[in-house]
Structure 1
């Protein structure tokens, strides 16, 4: 793992370099970066945007400290290099009021009206967030497709099956789908802020509840991060037990996916 603080220019250049080398973007998120002060004040925390990339050489974790202007912190957009960054950048704006400068899509992603506009869950305790006005729902302008005979079909966010909520907006002409736009995030439950309230040695329990079908994977991922940060070497027996549990979870998920394929083709017996 390589960890480093970069400038705005280096932030953009690093993304392009990773893409050109065949690397992938893992995540973009906002938070507080610890700054070392050469004074008796010791450490201070400044607003920052973080990104993580994976390449053949390993994991790269970049930190870009931000200086808010007029109460808003901004950083160079990454979605032009990695389109997958768009939703993560929009989530950071909703949660932390940190915005991607020059981004083509600045619509809300996680805020569906659960908290008031211009309120940010990661900047203040959730119980102190202003209550939203039920009559003032946040407008979400879907991208419209114009043309002769084009119409929209809206599906969700409530679905017939026991699945996570999601809204899907189809732009179609007859049976031909011209565009599909998704809006997710309805089940956002404030895991990031809740994680900061846990003792580090107990937070794996919360990590394991992020996604019920991947509880081992999430809990192990948290433990790996904590062990890496503290340079902790775990016993061989723990590694074997983790591997066994993870393999059982992997097989169960693959079997579930194969059964779901049959179910979607009206062969429900495959899912039984």
Structure 2
């Protein structure tokens, strides 16, 4: 018992003497080297030894000696573009961020908001260009699985495949419905923005809170769409939002199957009438005017 106490005391003293840059990685040291003397960790302490015994974790390296001369803190620093094992090097995510900014895709909700753009054709063309540039920037590297910009790019890629390219057989009906209801979705833009959650909500570590907010946003989409476009469009929008936003998030959230109750939803016939193209509505109006003008001319 006394030996264990002495070992624990020695361990605490050793941690206290480590510099802050090294203390961060002390658990990693302990797992790899135990309490072996420092000289054994570095191949006997010879200066010309290789860096195989580096005391930095994979993907990190010791800071250069110039860091101490310039007042920097000695220790480990991340190597940009380094390889971890046999995996590809990690990408700089700034190019991905800059491309997403072209479409104002700063959150999972902003991917869904692309449905309310004035022209889906123009939006899809720009989305294709953005995703192409992102792929070019990642030809020789990868983003970390939990990189938020990489996740947003995944969600945007899903938007392209489902909305711009027609979707697969399973969701083709939903894709067609969203395209046919585009005129109504454009009118829903302000409501969709009001449904957005607080900034950076999807980056929280508490998965249960993130998933609760996620379903709140989906239910808000459903309620607003039901009031303006009808229940059928509301279901399609909620379904698509759940799939696209889910791919753009780090946490995996289950979409609640319980739909909000909307008592005064837009009737189906009225919603379909509101989805007609504006030129078709204008043509119908002019046809009626011409018809009554002819009647007046004949019987006048």
Q: TM-score, normalised by structure 1?
A: 0.23
Higher helix content, 1 or 2? 2
- Which entry has the higher C-alpha Rg, 1 or 2? 2
Higher strand content, 1 or 2? 1
User: Relative CO higher for 1 or 2, CA cutoff 8 Å, sep ≥ 6?
Assistant: 2
Q: TM-score, normalised by structure 2?
A: 0.22
